[in-house]
């Protein structure tokens, strides 16, 4: 496992080293600090991936299986919305984007409002993705329709909000949200007869990036 982490991070180290020494022709500033930081990165990634394998993936799959076994669709949808909202509203990257937007918007946007709108969008996205798995609909219809809708709404959205909306779609896929949502989708597809974990289990993360773009632009239309 540790070897896999080192193998995955090695290309990044080689690229940085090549450009620093061969192109910039400069020695590494504070070489001991750089080496120490790389060791900490390897250890951190090792612990993080171990935590995903031992904790989040089994947890998400088990909860999806239990909800499907009980046959209560409404509680499953409530759980999907809640987990999408809760894992997003306190996401550090979203906090940074929302804080910056509040600073430069002249008071029209607040940090709490931006975070809430984005988190609401993720909650709706996960709920929609879970419904797609339950109904067995092809994912491409949802994705294509969603992006066509984004193009239409972008035409009417104020210029001040478009960039923020698209960035908001990217910051929602955090280190906690992605593994838990992926495990939820795979576990749910595995527990429903006639569903393929590979075909039907994935796609929730795409929804989590798509729907917040719409919610933020609609919020911007209302605000501006």
Residues 6+ apart with CB under 8 A from 87: 122, 174, 176, 177, 180, 181
Q: Pick the residue with more confidence: 140 or 5?
A: 140
Alpha-carbon distance of 39 to 198, in angstroms, equals 35
Structure token digits, residue 62: 């088990």
* Mean pLDDT of the region 121-142: 91
Name residues whose C-beta falls within 8 Å of residue 44's C-beta, 6 or more positions apart in sequence. none
What are the residues whose beta carbons fall under 8 Å from the beta carbon of 190, sequence distance 6 or more?
61, 64, 65, 197, 201
Residues 6+ apart with CB under 8 A from 98: 111, 112, 114, 115, 118
The answer to whether 48 touches 5, Cβ cutoff 8 Å, is no
Mean pLDDT of 23-36: 80
pLDDT at 198: 82
- pLDDT per residue over 59-77, tens digit each? 767 777 777 777 678 888 8
Angle formed at CA 76 by CA 53 and CA 130, multiple of 5 degrees? 75
Rounded to 10°, the helix 159-171/111-135 angle is 60
Q: How confident is the model at residue 219 (pLDDT cuts 50, 70, 90)?
A: very high
3-state secondary structure of 220: helix
Tokens found for residue 68: 């499907």
- Return the higher-pLDDT residue of 182 and 217: 217
For 133-168, write each residue's pLDDT tens digit: 888 889 999 999 999 999 999 999 999 889 999 988
Cβ(156)–Cβ(218) below 8 Å: no
Q: Is the pLDDT of residue 56 over 70?
A: no
- Per DSSP, 115 falls in state H
Name the more confident of 10 and 60: 10
Distances, alpha carbon 163 to alpha carbons 56, 196, 213, 216, in Å: 32, 36, 10, 10
How far is Cα 198 from Cα 53, in angstroms, rounded to an integer? 18
Q: Hey, what are 139's tokens?
A: 């994912």
Report yes or no on whether pTM surpasses 0.85: no
**How many Å apart are CA 31 and CA 103, to the nearest integer?**
37
DSSP codes, 161-185: HHHHHHHHHHHTS-TTHHHHHHHHH
Each domain of the chain, given as residue ranges in start order, spans: 56-223
> What value does the mean pLDDT take over residues 164-186?
81
Q: What confidence score (pLDDT) does residue 1 get?
A: 65
Q: State residue 70's pLDDT score.
A: 72
73-110 pLDDT tens trace: 888 888 889 988 988 887 778 888 888 888 888 778 88
């Amino acid at each position: 496992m540790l070897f896999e982490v080192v193998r995955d991070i090695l290309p990044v180290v080689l690229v940085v080293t090549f450009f620093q020494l061969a192109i910039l022709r400069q020695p590494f500033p504070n070489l001991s600090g750089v080496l120490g930081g790389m060791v900490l990165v390897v250890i951190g990634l090792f612990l993080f991936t171990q935590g995903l394998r031992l904790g989040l993936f089994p947890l998400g799959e088990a909860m999806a299986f239990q909800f499907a076994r009980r046959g209560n669709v409404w509680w499953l949808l409530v759980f999907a919305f809640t987990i999408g909202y809760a894992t997003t509203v306190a996401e550090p990257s979203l906090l940074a984007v929302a804080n910056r937007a509040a600073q430069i918007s002249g008071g029209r946007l607040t940090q709490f409002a931006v975070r809430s709108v984005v988190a609401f969008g993720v909650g709706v996205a996960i709920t929609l993705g879970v419904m797609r798995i339950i109904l067995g609909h092809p994912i491409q219809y949802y994705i294509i329709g969603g992006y066509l809708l984004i193009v239409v709404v972008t035409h009417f959205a104020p210029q001040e909000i478009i960039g923020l909306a698209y960035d908001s779609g990217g910051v929602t896929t955090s280190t906690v949200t992605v593994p838990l949502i992926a495990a939820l989708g795979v576990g749910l597809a595995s527990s429903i007869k006639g569903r393929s974990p590979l075909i039907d289990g994935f796609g929730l993360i795409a929804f989590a990036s798509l729907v917040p773009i719409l919610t933020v632009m609609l919020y911007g239309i209302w605000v501006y």
